[in-house]
Amino acid sequence: MRSIMEIGPKMGTFDTIIMMGNIFGLFGSFARARRLLKVIHRMTTPGARIIAKSTVPEATEIPEHTAYHRRNIRRGRMPGRIRIRVRFRTCKPPGFDYLFVSVEEMRAILDGTGWTIARVIAGEAPFYCAMLEKVGRQ
């Protein structure tokens, strides 16, 4: 298994990339998402697609979540950027960033990366699936 940061053309060429289960969130940040989408652009065929599921972060009324979103915005981060730390007994590996994005935020991330949203399939709120299409050259 590899980290998402290790993807690259040596892995092969793909027609379709499937990012279900909020895997789009592993990009972790706006800048990292843009950088990795450009890498994915180089390792996919013309007309390739990405099927990406995400969650609209603002679609909550839970006070702790909305406070977290506001804190992120004050810190210059996207509202749906979270830090995950998994611990088990004495094992405490470093945490990692995870990113939930609205459709509009996904569009902003995609701008200039060679990808566009071709279709959005709304799921039960707050979930959606975006069909991304490869456009242009990178």
pLDDT reading at 61 higher than 70: yes
What percent of the chain is modeled with pLDDT above 90? 76
Q: What is the DSSP letter of 136?
A: S
Question: 55: closest CA among 92, 99, 108?
Answer: 99
pLDDT reading at 1 higher than 60: no
> How many Cα atoms sit within 13 Å of 121 on the Cβ side?
8
Choose between 79 and 6: higher pLDDT: 79
Domains and CATH numbers, the chain: 18-134 (3.40.50.150)
- Token pair in block for residue 103: 């459709």
- Tell me the torsion sign for CA atoms 20, 23, 108, 116: negative
Any residues with CB less than 8 A from the CB of 106 and at least 6 apart, and which? 24, 52, 54, 117, 130
pLDDT digits (tens, 9 = 90+) for 102-137: 999 999 999 999 999 999 999 888 999 999 999 976
pLDDT reading at 11 higher than 90: no
